[in-house]
DNA sequence: TGGCGTTATATTCCGAAAAATATTACGGTA
DNA sequence: TACCGTAATATTTTTCGGAATATAACGCCA
């Protein structure tokens, strides 16, 4: 048996200012849903709060409506939660992502180098 | 009319040590064919010779056979030319690349965010 | 034998991106 | 009013990949 090559790749959804949704961004959204705050979500995936905040900000600015609703102060210091748009965005990306993975799988077969 | 999102992405062919063929690498191969040397190819695409040399080395090591044949010294200082494997590798990548572009195009349509 | 332009390789330098750090604002609660 | 943990934002520090620089080896030719 000889070495097998395979097709690799990445996909993302592009918005007005570049990347809108990608693997990392959507994973972050899911963590926010799970943990209820940007900071807890960031911690849970070894991401700095600053980076997470910027990603959320970028997504909120590019979405037709905000994907994440944030509140500051109050009991627990505040938090963040997904909007309906946020939920739909997650689905939107994973759907395209799944199709892409299938494409990669199928297209890896005919790679006779 | 609302803002249109579209699907973006990249593909590459993976070999034993990671990326084997990608857009930049294959473009480099074509430039080597065109110019007859690694250094001239690199210059023609604003790439440093060092970087170009490393890419060629990586491809040669990962291919079943070398993609680029190099000679040192002599009239003109030496040079480089594509092997038959190199030619076939270019085709191999562009073929997958074209299919991927088509996938992106088609899959961008159903992006109703 | 010296010159040329290439391949080959080591080493230093640099800038941009990421990480780390610091500070302020916020608004419930005790 | 003091405290807490968060959001929000500015600033400094670190890291790391690429660029730049330097040098040797090679082999033909004048």
pLDDT in tens, A50-76: 999 999 999 999 999 999 999 999 888
> What is the layout of strands, in order, in the sheet containing B6-15?
A18-21, A6-15, B6-15, B18-21
Question: What string of H, E and C letters represents the secondary structure of A67-104?
Answer: CEEEEECCHHHEEEEECHHHHHHHHHHHHHHHHHHHHH
Instruction: Compute φ and ψ for A57, nearest 5 degrees.
Output: -60, -45
Q: In chain A, what residues touch B100 (CB-CB under 8 Å)?
A: 9, 103, 107
Integer Cα distance of B52 and B31 in angstroms: 11
Q: Do A107 and B113 touch (CB under 8 A)?
A: no
Q: pLDDT-derived band of residue A80, with 50, 70 and 90 as boundaries?
A: very high
Q: Do B9 and A6 touch (CB under 8 A)?
A: no
pLDDT value at position B51? 96
Considering only residues B3 and B38, tell me which one the structure prediction assigns the higher pLDDT.
B38
User: What residue has its CA nearest to the C1' of D20?
Assistant: B48
- Asked whether residue A21 carries a pLDDT value surpassing 70, the answer given is yes
Q: pLDDT-derived band of residue B110, with 50, 70 and 90 as boundaries?
A: confident
- Asked whether residue B87 carries a pLDDT value surpassing 90, the answer given is yes
Q: pLDDT-derived band of residue A13, with 50, 70 and 90 as boundaries?
A: very high
Q: pLDDT-derived band of residue B113, with 50, 70 and 90 as boundaries?
A: low
User: In chain A, what's the furthest Cα-to-Cα distance?
Assistant: 63
Q: pLDDT-derived band of residue B3, with 50, 70 and 90 as boundaries?
A: low
Residue A55's H or E segment, with its range, is helix A49-62
Tell which residue, A68, A54, A65, A69, has the closest CA to residue A18.
Answer: A54
- Asked whether residue A2 carries a pLDDT value surpassing 60, the answer given is no
Integer Cα distance of A61 and A100 in angstroms: 26
Q: What is the mean pLDDT of residues B92-99?
A: 98
- For the domain spanning B18-108, the CATH number is 1.10.10.10
pLDDT value at position B1? 52
Please name the residue that has the structure tokens 């074509």.
B30
Instruction: Compute φ and ψ for B38, nearest 5 degrees.
Output: -65, -40
Q: What is the mean pLDDT of residues A102-109?
A: 95
Closest residue, chain B, to A109 (C-alpha): B96
Residue B71 burial (CB count, 10 A)? 12
Find and list the nucleotides of strand C having atoms within 7 Å of a protein beta carbon.
4-11, 18-22, 25-29
Tell which residue, A102, A36, A16, A14, has the closest CA to residue A25.
Answer: A14
User: What residue has its CA nearest to the C1' of D9?
Assistant: A50
Give me the numbers of helices (H) and strands (E) for chain B, helices first please. Answer: 4, 4
Q: Do A11 and B7 touch (CB under 8 A)?
A: yes
Considering only residues A17 and A96, tell me which one the structure prediction assigns the higher pLDDT.
A96
pLDDT tens, residue by residue, B11-45: 999 998 899 999 999 999 999 999 999 999 999 99
Q: pLDDT-derived band of residue B69, with 50, 70 and 90 as boundaries?
A: very high
pLDDT value at position A3? 63
Class for domain A17-105, per CATH? mainly alpha
Average pLDDT, chain A: 93
Residues with CB under 7 A from strand D: A 37-40, 49-50, 53, 56-57, 70-74, 76-80; B 47-48, 50-51, 72-75, 77-78
Residues of B engaging A, defined by a Cβ cutoff of 8 Å: 2-3, 5-16, 19-20, 63-64, 85, 88-89, 92, 96, 99-100, 103-104, 107, 111-113
Considering only residues A113 and B3, tell me which one the structure prediction assigns the higher pLDDT.
B3
Average pLDDT, chain B: 94
Integer Cα distance of B87 and B66 in angstroms: 11
């Amino acid at each position: 048996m000889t070495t097998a090559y395979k097709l690799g790749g990445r996909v993302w959804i592009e918005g007005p200012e570049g990347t809108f949704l990608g693997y990392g961004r959507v994973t972050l959204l899911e963590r926010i849903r799970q943990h209820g705050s940007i900071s807890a979500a960031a911690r849970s995936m070894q991401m700095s709060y600053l980076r997470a905040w910027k990603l959320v900000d970028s997504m909120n600015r590019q979405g037709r409506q905000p994907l994440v609703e944030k509140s500051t102060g109050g009991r627990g210091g505040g938090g963040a939660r997904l909007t309906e748009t946020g939920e739909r965005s997650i689905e939107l990306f994973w759907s395209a992502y799944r199709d892409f993975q299938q494409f990669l799988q199928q297209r890896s077969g005919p790679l006779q180098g």
